[in-house]
Structure 1
Amino acid sequence: VFYKRSLGYRLIYEIEFSLTPTHLLRNKEYHEYYFVKKPIIKYFVKKADKLNICTDEVCEFFYKHMSGSKEKINRMTLGADPDFFYEDYDERRDLRISMGIADDEVLITTSGKIEPHKRYDVFIKSISSIKNEYPRIKFLIIGSGTESAIKDVLDMAQKESIKDNIILKPFAKKEELRKLYNASDIGVWTRATITTLEAIGCGLPVIIPNIQSTKHLVEDGNGLLYEYGDSSQLADRLKYYMLQENRIKAREKALNAFRNKYSYLTLAKQLVNNVYMSVLKNGSTANDLSLRNNIKL
């Protein structure tokens, strides 16, 4: 950064961090942000030729608090690897047989570390509330956690009389995770993560919270939103996908959305065209010209 001008290179700053409102920061974190992180970020923004940002939330933060950043921002999205995450009906059939999931059962799935703040109580209550109307449901939890955290989830399930509907699987490697997503019918999360995108890559309809940083993930009709923490609304969304016709439509849209927006190959092409070529186009050195002529994707 310090020698950018003298060395004649281009600086692309890729920004990936979560935002915590400053009033929620502890005193030490507050001072660390204002006296250490913020000045460094502002310096990087000033020196950068392009800013690669993956969420609307962070974009808005930069618009408001980082002067001179707006014209440099390239809004990207996170994605997943199409070589690992894709639809496979053979995997679906084989894994459902091995897990004892019948064709007429609906497998609802979530993945991620099992922790109290992940609000598994919302899942448990929503599934419990529709179980009498839709008894042929199973809830697959893919993830690891402390013994006490897992016990809490199972105790909640026992209290809501759905413990027999719960399947626990430790967090899996990519190949196994893909098979589990293919075996599933609906994906649910209390917060959208990379695993949500991986599930979309397998064609899984997803139900995620209606929050700014993640709601774009279902804008193509491949899923539904619910208000965070609202188990009643989540139950309504689950009911919608109990109809197979709705799941089939959402699955097709999920595969299209992944192919067009979230596949690493698509994102790599966008990165080259919107960021690298844009930066080099504005450069005038011999090195810039050489790179422009040789970049191919």
Structure 2
Amino acid sequence: MSSVNSEYRILKVWPFWVDGIKYHDQYLADKMLEDNVYTHFICPDYTPPNYSAFSSESDKNSTYNVSFLKSFFVFGKPFPYDFFGVISKVRLFKPDVVHFFGISNFITVVVLLALFFSNYKGKIVFNDHSDPNERKKGLKARFYYGFFAVFFKIFIRGKYKIIVPDDSSFNEIVRRYGSGVMRNLTIIPLGYDERIFCNSNPSRGKKAFVLGFAGKINEAKKLERLVDASLCFDESVLDIKIAGLNLDRLSQYQQSLLDYVKSTGRNNIHLTSFISAPSELSDFYAGLDLAVFPGSISITTLEATGCGTPIVLYNSISGLDHRVSNGRGLLFDTQQELVSCIDFFLNAKEGSGIDHNQIASNSREFSWSSLKHEYYNIYGFKG
């Protein structure tokens, strides 16, 4: 399907909002607008503390609108209370599809009930990126998960398509809600914007070997692994760039990482501020020979390979093979394997070279321009 043959509207329901940072649904909104598909986001007026340090000014050129709902908090999670305001927004926007991001969010409860009472007749779809590595424990968590297990059983099970990005999320949803949910699950991988993230630096192969990381620097990213691996190489061999500090208010982990780098006595490890602008992030990745992700991951791994940069990726969850397929990178499990992976690409550059153009080409199947059609098929949009 090259495009859709009429105007469609999608209401995306999100559990939070971070100004200045785009995630998968915001990129999809950009791409779908090319086909006369309009997106409106609705979410609590809330930014999680671990994201707020990285937020910036809103994108004034965004292709979508956002409505914020006032909330109170239950177990530290926002619970929107303007129920009738949600009904009003649904009737005003008249969406063809309501697409929820996340099952176990209180806004999901509020909006799903609002759709019922507003007699909504369009399609309802869910995305869920549940990660077993982020599974919470304790009495509050047990009550929270238990509540949503009951909610899922009554209001969602067997009724709606649920999209997950990989095998890990697939298995986590099955663990939470039972094997019966499998018939409603569909895997659509995450993607990247190929217009922004492309191989724009053909001269990088002539420079010294540059490896790096870009993203929110926090404990989950395990960047000390990258620093430790670099110590296995002569200082003159590698140039290491790590972007992701919040220089206005360093977290405890960020400060400890800075202190650790300083204690190594190395001058080839450079830490800089967080990059939020997609064009600047693209320039960063296009300047690397190798991108390393030693901890938790996001769509930045796909953005890096879109720029023609191979990646070395910690095998943190199942189903990551597609992120490194067709020569786009390597997975590692142990610290020694991380060192070996870096050495592999270092030798590749010194030998026949790293084919950045081929890596960029092999990544295009994961572009949002390609993946949006899988969403159209689920939405029932006709082309």
The TM-score range, normalised by the shorter chain, is 0.7 to 0.9
Matches within 5 A, 1:30-109: 30-34=142-146, 36-46=147-157, 48-64=159-175, 65-89=177-201, 103-109=206-212
Deviations 1:50-87 (CA, angstroms, capped at 9, x unpaired): 21111211212334533532222211111111222111
Given that 1:205 and 1:247 are in contact with CA atoms closer than 8 Å, whether structure 2 keeps it comes out as no
Q: Distance in 1 between matches of 2:155 and 2:321?
A: 29
Tell me the secondary structure at the aligned position of residue 330 of structure 2: strand
Q: Distance in 1 between matches of 2:128 and 2:252?
A: 35
Q: Distance in 2 between matches of 1:33 and 1:55?
A: 21
Structure 1 position 259, deviation (Å) = 0.7
| 1:216 pairs with 2:322 | yes
Q: Distance in 1 between matches of 2:117 and 2:181?
A: 18
Counterpart of 1:17?
A: 130
Change (3 A) 1:225 1:51: same
Given that 2:130 and 2:173 are in contact with CA atoms closer than 8 Å, whether structure 1 keeps it comes out as no
The one-letter code matched in structure 2 to 1:79 is G
Tell me the secondary structure at the aligned position of residue 192 of structure 2: coil
Q: Distance in 2 between matches of 1:247 and 1:215?
A: 23
Given that 2:211 and 2:291 are in contact with CA atoms closer than 8 Å, whether structure 1 keeps it comes out as yes
Q: When you count strand as a share of all residues, which structure comes out higher?
A: 2
Paired positions, count: 261
Kindly report the root-mean-square deviation, in angstroms, between the aligned alpha carbons of the 2 structures. 2.7
Deviations 1:127-178 (CA, angstroms, capped at 9, x unpaired): 110226xx2311100102416534422332233332x101222112111111
Change (3 A) 1:21 1:87: closer
Q: Distance in 2 between matches of 1:20 and 1:150?
A: 21
Counterpart of 2:227?
A: 124
Change (3 A) 1:40 1:225: same
Q: Distance in 2 between matches of 1:168 and 1:6?
A: 53
Tell me the secondary structure at the aligned position of residue 180 of structure 2: coil
Change (3 A) 1:15 1:119: closer
Structure 1 position 252, deviation (Å) = 4.1
Q: Distance in 1 between matches of 2:134 and 2:244?
A: 28
The one-letter code matched in structure 1 to 2:288 is S
Structure 1 position 5, deviation (Å) = 12
Change (3 A) 1:147 1:67: closer
Counterpart of 2:51?
A: none
Given that 2:212 and 2:291 are in contact with CA atoms closer than 8 Å, whether structure 1 keeps it comes out as yes
What's the TM-score, normalizing by structure 1?
A: 0.78
Counterpart of 1:29?
A: 141
Counterpart of 1:143?
A: 244
Given that 1:111 and 1:142 are in contact with CA atoms closer than 8 Å, whether structure 2 keeps it comes out as yes
The one-letter code matched in structure 1 to 2:291 is G
Structure 1, unaligned runs of 5 or more: 97-101, 278-291
Structure 1 position 220, deviation (Å) = 2.3
Q: Distance in 2 between matches of 1:63 and 1:247?
A: 43
Structure 2, unaligned runs of 5 or more: 1-111
Structure 1 position 109, deviation (Å) = 0.8
| 1:259 pairs with 2:372 | no
Tell me the secondary structure at the aligned position of residue 216 of structure 1: helix
Counterpart of 1:193?
A: 298
Match of 2:311 among 206, 221, 227: 206
Given that 1:13 and 1:48 are in contact with CA atoms closer than 8 Å, whether structure 2 keeps it comes out as no
Structure 1 stretches (4+) deviating beyond 4 angstroms? 4-7
Counterpart of 1:281?
A: none
Q: Distance in 2 between matches of 1:246 and 1:205?
A: 15
Match of 1:115 among 218, 223, 245: 218
Counterpart of 1:233?
A: 337
Counterpart of 2:282?
A: 178
Counterpart of 2:58?
A: none
Q: Distance in 2 between matches of 1:4 and 1:19?
A: 34
Counterpart of 2:10?
A: none
